Amino acid sequence: MVKALTVNLNERSYPILFGSGLGSEVRANVDALIAAGRRVVVLTDRNVAGQHGRALQAMFAAAPVLVLQAGEETKSLADFGRVLDFLAAQHLDRTGALFAVGGGVIGDLGGFAAASYLRGIEFYQVPTTLLAMVDSSVGGKTGINLAAGKNLAGAFHQPRGVYIDTGLLATLPAREFAAGMAEVIKYGLLGDAELFAQLERAPLTVASPGLAAVVRRCCELKARIVEADERELAKEGGRALLNLGHTFAHAIEQSAGYGTYLHGEAVAVGLSAAGRLSQEIGFISARETARIDAVLTAHALPIRLRAPLAVSALMTAVARDKKVRAGLPRFVVLQKIGAAVTRQDGITPAMVEACFRAAGAVDSL
């Protein structure tokens, strides 16, 4: 049974379809686009092409497919150029449509290419990882990494539709599933205390009967936040709340080298650090910080760095974060489990450095 959730953004509104075995829904859309005289192309990675080759064939038939390397390193200027060249080689005009089939890397890269090619063509998200299903496929943030920092080039470009087939998670490696759980835990922390408590009671696994409902709940939470603050312009709170743990995480990814940590692994360390920062400014207790760490650990996620990183390099990366305003970084902190706020004043560099040290960073390597 196919269920739908709408992201309400006026003329940019779109459905998120949930179900198991959504290939027929994708194929029906592809056939309708082609019947209307529109060209369809597909972007995916080698892991998806290897695991789901038959499903890709069933969904897209003879549509041209570009297969890229899997991994965070693909969110690069070089691969961005490859995608644009592919779109041009397939003679797409402004009625063309790109289907991004993969995890967050493919979705972010494909969406940015769709936003840029001919100043914007339509694209659809078919996420194949838990992280992409609950977070990156929804909301229209697209982009690539630069040497200077994570997601520093990109565009807001909403998809025309998102197809979330939780059946695809059966082939997802355990490490990738755990990485996706970091974003699920994030949603519990920032806006749903009962979801967090549910994860405390029993760790979520790919075999959990409630998995599909949890995925949908995360999408609902994100959709409502995006509807209220699509372009992250709110002075306080708003869409920036979705970055809970991410200022720390992006600094870790950039400093360690893209690909060293899965995005969700860096987010997990960042969530733990955000908990400590929230405790340091007097918002939550040591007990609540311990609860956060316990849930992350129960879902096979790290709360400390695997290898030391220099505090100075991490702080340099923080200073380049997209959320910096007037030269000062903004952090998302927890007033309590289930409620988050943005905070800029009262957070000193020494506090942030202390959080990095608690995660295993060192003053010098």
* Digitized pLDDT (tens) for each residue of the chain, 365 residues in all: 789 999 999 999 999 999 989 999 999 999 999 999 999 999 999 999 999 999 999 999 999 999 999 999 999 999 999 999 999 999 999 999 999 999 999 999 999 999 999 999 999 999 999 999 999 999 999 999 999 999 999 999 999 999 999 999 999 999 999 999 999 999 999 999 999 999 999 999 999 999 999 999 999 999 999 999 999 999 889 999 999 999 999 999 999 999 999 999 999 999 999 999 999 999 999 999 999 999 999 999 999 999 999 999 999 999 988 777 666 788 999 999 999 999 988 899 999 999 999 999 999 88
Going by the DSSP 8-state scheme, the letter that residue 11 receives in this structure is G
pTM for this predicted structure: 0.96
Burial group, residue 4, by CB count within 10 angstroms (0-12, 13-18, 19+) = exposed
Check if the beta carbon of residue 278 is closer than 8 Å to that of residue 352.
Answer: no
Active-site residue numbers?
Answer: 119, 141, 183, 222, 232, 239, 243, 246, 250, 263
Return d(Cα 333, Cα 228) in angstroms, integer.
20
Return d(Cα 75, Cα 213) in angstroms, integer.
30
Check if the beta carbon of residue 140 is closer than 8 Å to that of residue 155.
Answer: no
Both structure tokens of 142: 């697209």
**Ramachandran angles phi, psi of 78, nearest 5°:** -65, -45
Q: Map tokens 């002075």 to a residue.
A: 235
Contacts 24+ apart (CB under 8 A), 277-281: 277/331, 277/333, 277/347, 277/351, 277/352, 277/355, 278/333, 278/334, 278/335, 280/351, 280/354, 280/355, 281/333, 281/343, 281/346, 281/347, 281/351
pLDDT at 327: 64
Return d(Cα 29, Cα 60) in angstroms, integer.
10
**Ramachandran angles phi, psi of 196, nearest 5°:** -60, -45
Domains and CATH numbers, the chain: 3-171 (3.40.50.1970), 174-358 (1.20.1090.10)
**What SS3 state is found at 196?**
helix
The helix or strand, by DSSP H or E, that contains position 331, with its residue range, turns out to be strand 331-336
Going by the DSSP 8-state scheme, the letter that residue 92 receives in this structure is -
